[in-house]
Structure 1
């Protein structure tokens, strides 16, 4: 789940922007700030490629406090009601989610389109949701409209969210917050820090090992200072987070996922458990089941391009003279040293190895349908 801007995106129109809890912290460290998702966000510090490569080599600290942190509370006399209600809106199994476990899922429309992708965590006392920043107000409205009145939805807008990502993230955080090193990918827990508590999830959106840390806004600066005081950690902006998630083959909401795209065509069937595929019972399941049974008309695929020129979002994809798709995310891969992209193409042209072309500035760039992730995930699943 990610909603970072491409570093060449056109800035948003002038609107009243919110400030992150670490706004002055970012500026003091030389961050270049850009408008995004209603906030001024750090897009880079020393440079996107340098920050990208440091994340692959060591550990980077990203501020993703623009994202929405929500909790769903069940009534005391019906402790599973919240999970059952969420299963009416999400295509994943929530009732079987054990305490300390996380699951990727999506809010769907009645027509099966993706309203947002999100993370659900069973914290024990309640269910925690992390939703994309650009969608959070619509998500909250959707949830409040459809959840039972007995279920309480809380938006924790006084909490910041930091992402510590990279191969050295585990040892860095364990030294600062003992016990976090025992977490494995898609698990989470509550930990003591600085006389209080922080919520730590072993997850992220870079393809690297790492953590997302929920911390009260009054304590986030001290935590950020402590993390970057370690020479293995540098701050990084949303530009590097975007290039990392592209290499990891992870979809970006508003680009690779929209209201017009269903989970099957988006190649996210891993988020549809067997029980939910067979039983349905969630909003949008009719379209999802049809796509599962008959195949989607289009599919999200990875493309590797020849040369150095990237194909950005909106570039048309051709098989010979026939237009067969469009690029939804694209850029130059620092790790691979070549342009890569995600695109939705007609199912008939989605097989690995299919030769296609992308039209960019009146040029035809040779492209090949390639497996994703482009760069292997390095999630920590235990020794």
Structure 2
């Protein structure tokens, strides 16, 4: 067991991680499990084959309450929140006046309120941003006494159906409030691995009981932060603070799909979010100086975040923002930014690792097939 700074916060599942032999590390102000006895690679492959259970209780959970909550939130994101159907969730982006990204988040519509999940490292900043920019008639309720679990993998639906039969008819991006073992839980069919799965928000006092029920199912293993990172990278999903940040626009980050059509193609709801002029201009002209790309390594050595990228003439053209050995693929994969003219599929570029230039091929993301259950 690792000795860690006692000022760090603990999730409601902390004792269960220790019981399972979790290797705890500081992460976003919490003590979090980076891996368990299985190890990162086996946890990763287990999630792809069966079902991995992730503790993501460090994320920020909140409610926005008020009849104009959707319209108010829409002034801060380039996403259609007003027409988000009840019982559905949507991926959104907080933008700044320069068109950069303050955070990415998930928003669910429950009729009388919006349920919002934000990144752990951005939690305080996001809450301050909402308090500063939302009108006074919108109540912001922080849900600080809840755990958040993610059950991910091809067997996730089968497992959850045994314990919670009403989850069976949910499809990708459905959100629902359910009674799970006597606890009022918020459940969404989504996740961060590219696999089918669910995220389950549980009252803290019931978290251990429900977590033990899930772990008792033969297909389920705990999975730590290490495999969570390699799984999301294989699936081409950005990690805030690494692949996207306040200096990155959605267009540079190849996140055009996350900007709702109604917010970018004319009509009264076009724009109206921070940085809209810059972002809409980039969409219209397609003129950006860099683009986010996927890369696969042509050798065996993994290429990590921060490695500089070069063209065949030895000119520096970009940087790696995430990299892994690619457990499902059997070869190194990475994500990063290059000058726009190099962002062409099958272009060979070179990553510098310990003074050596390793060949990489620009490839389409995701690197693995996403298996969301769309019904």
> Considering the TM-score relative to the shorter chain, is it more than 0.5?
yes
Matched, 1:104 2:91: yes
Matched, 1:287 2:261: no
- How far has the Cα of 1:306 moved from its partner? 1.1
Matched, 1:62 2:54: yes
2:183, 2:203 within 8 Å by CA — same for their partners in 1?
A: no
Matched, 1:367 2:372: no
- How far has the Cα of 1:354 moved from its partner? 1.1
Give the structure 2 partner of residue 297 of structure 1. Answer: 289
Q: 1:329 aligns with which of 318, 322, 332?
A: 322
Partner Cα distance (1:358, 1:122) in 2: 43
Q: 1:356 aligns with which of 349, 354, 357?
A: 349
2:103, 2:118 within 8 Å by CA — same for their partners in 1?
A: yes
Give the structure 1 partner of residue 303 of structure 2. Answer: 311
- Post-superposition Cα deviations, 1:295-335, rounded to whole Å, max 9, x if no partner, equal 22111000011111111111001112111100000010011
RMSD, aligned α-carbons: 1.2
Matched, 1:249 2:240: no
Gaps of 5+ in 2: none
1:18-57 equivalences under 5 Å are 18-45=9-36, 46-57=38-49
3-state SS, counterpart of residue 228 of structure 2? helix
Query: Could you tell me the TM-score, scaled by structure 2's length?
Result: 0.96
Give the structure 1 partner of residue 64 of structure 2. Answer: 72
Give the structure 2 partner of residue 209 of structure 1. Answer: 196
Partner Cα distance (1:197, 1:145) in 2: 30
3-state SS, counterpart of residue 279 of structure 2? helix
- Post-superposition Cα deviations, 1:254-291, rounded to whole Å, max 9, x if no partner, equal 00011000111101111111210131111111111121
Q: 2:159 aligns with which of 158, 172, 189?
A: 172
- Post-superposition Cα deviations, 1:184-209, rounded to whole Å, max 9, x if no partner, equal 00111111122232111000000000
- Post-superposition Cα deviations, 1:205-240, rounded to whole Å, max 9, x if no partner, equal 000000000000000000010001011111111111
Q: 2:143 aligns with which of 142, 156, 164?
A: 156
- How far has the Cα of 1:294 moved from its partner? 2.0
Give the structure 2 partner of residue 5 of structure 1. Answer: none
- Post-superposition Cα deviations, 1:25-69, rounded to whole Å, max 9, x if no partner, equal 110110000000000001111200010010011001100000000
3-state SS, counterpart of residue 218 of structure 1? helix
Partner Cα distance (1:196, 1:326) in 2: 46
3-state SS, counterpart of residue 333 of structure 1? coil
Query: Could you tell me the TM-score, scaled by structure 1's length?
Result: 0.94
Give the structure 1 partner of residue 206 of structure 2. Answer: 219
3-state SS, counterpart of residue 338 of structure 1? coil
Partner Cα distance (2:285, 2:6) in 1: 45
Relative to structure 2, which stretch is displaced further, 314-323 or 131-140? 314-323
2:183, 2:202 within 8 Å by CA — same for their partners in 1?
A: no
3-state SS, counterpart of residue 264 of structure 2? helix
3-state SS, counterpart of residue 220 of structure 1? helix
Q: Segments of 4+ in structure 1 off by > 3 A?
A: none
Give the structure 2 partner of residue 7 of structure 1. Answer: none
Gaps of 5+ in 1: 1-10
